[in-house]
C-alpha cells in the first residue's frame, strides 16, 4: 500500500525562510591549505626561509633544460629536490613556485610531494633521523631505537600522524625523527639514515653514540 507523503508544493514555501547556498559565506581553502601540512617547527632556525634567488632560478632552468620542451613537467622531482636541499622542506610557497616554473597547476606538485615520503612538508631538526620500521628492522629493535632517540633528544612523538605528519622535532630544534619504510639493508638491521648518512646495525644502546657524532 502506498503511503501519502506530504511534500510541500513550491507555492507553499515561505520564501523568507529559505536559505540559499550561494548566499552563505563560503570559506575558500586553497588546494595547498587542504593538502600540505606545514606548521612551524623549532627546526626552522637552521634553514633559510624560502625565497627565489637568481641562483635558484638558474639551477631550476638548468634542470628544466634537461627535458624536452613539451615534457618539462618531468623536472618536478629535480626541482623539489633542489628546494628541499636548500630550504629543508617543501613549503606551500615553494610548491607554487615549482608549479609556475613547470607551467602546471599546484595540485600536480602536491601529488608528488604527498606521494613520496622523502619530501618533507615541515622543517626537520638540524639532525634528522629516519629510522626503518619495516619487518627486519622492527624485529631487530628499531622501535626501541626510536624510543631511545626520542628520550635522549627530548622529542615527543605523541602528535606524529602517520604519512600526513610523520616528523617530530625536539624543543631545541637540533633533532628530529621519523619512521621510514625499508631502507634496503635488511641484513644489517636495524638501520637508519641521519641526514644523508646511512648507519647500519644501530641498536638502541648505540643511540647515544650516534647522536654524539652529530653534536654541533
- Which positions lie near ligand FES, rule CB under 6 A? 132, 134-137, 182-186, 189, 191
CB of 67 to ligand FES, least distance (A): 32
Q: Sign (positive/negative) of CA torsion 70, 73, 74, 80?
A: positive
Nearer to ligand FES, 79 or 145 (CB): 145
CB of 199 to ligand FES, least distance (A): 11
Nearer to ligand FES, 83 or 183 (CB): 183
| Residue 164, SS3 per DSSP | coil
CB of 195 to ligand FES, least distance (A): 17
Nearer to ligand FES, 167 or 183 (CB): 183
Query: Which single residue is written with the C-alpha cell 626552522?
Result: 44
CB of 128 to ligand FES, least distance (A): 17
Residues 6+ apart with CB under 8 A from 99: 105, 106, 108, 109
Nearer to ligand FES, 56 or 202 (CB): 202
List C-alpha distances in Å: 106 to 56, 95, 110, 161, 192.
19, 6, 6, 24, 32
Amino acid at each position: 500500500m502506498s503511503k501519502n507523503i506530504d511534500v510541500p508544493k513550491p507555492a507553499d514555501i515561505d520564501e523568507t525562510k529559505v536559505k540559499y547556498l550561494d548566499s552563505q559565506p563560503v570559506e575558500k581553502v586553497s588546494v595547498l591549505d587542504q593538502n600540505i601540512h606545514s606548521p612551524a617547527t623549532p627546526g626552522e632556525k637552521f634553514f633559510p626561509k624560502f625565497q627565489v634567488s637568481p641562483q635558484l632560478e638558474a639551477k631550476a632552468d638548468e634542470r628544466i633544460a634537461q627535458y624536452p620542451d613539451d615534457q618539462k613537467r618531468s623536472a618536478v622531482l629535480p626541482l623539489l629536490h633542489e628546494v628541499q636541499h636548500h630550504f629543508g622542506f617543501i613549503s606551500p610557497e615553494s610548491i607554487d613556485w615549482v608549479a609556475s616554473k613547470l607551467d602546471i597547476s599546484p595540485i600536480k606538485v602536491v601529488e608528488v610531494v604527498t606521494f613520496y615520503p622523502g619530501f618533507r612538508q615541515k622543517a626537520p631538526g638540524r639532525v634528522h633521523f629516519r629510522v626503518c620500521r619495516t619487518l627486519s628492522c622492527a624485529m631487530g629493535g628499531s622501535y626501541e631505537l626510536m624510543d631511545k632517540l626520542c628520550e635522549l633528544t627530548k622529542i615527543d612523538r605523541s602528535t606524529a600522524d602517520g604519512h600526513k605528519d610523520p616528523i617530530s622535532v625536539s624543543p631545541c630544534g637540533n633533532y628530529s625523527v621519523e619512521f621510514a619504510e625499508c631502507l634496503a639493508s635488511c641484513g644489517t638491521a636495524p638501520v637508519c639514515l641521519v641526514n644523508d648518512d646511512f648507519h647500519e646495525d644501530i641498536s638502541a644502546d648505540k643511540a647515544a653514540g650516534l647522536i654524539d657524532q652529530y653534536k654541533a
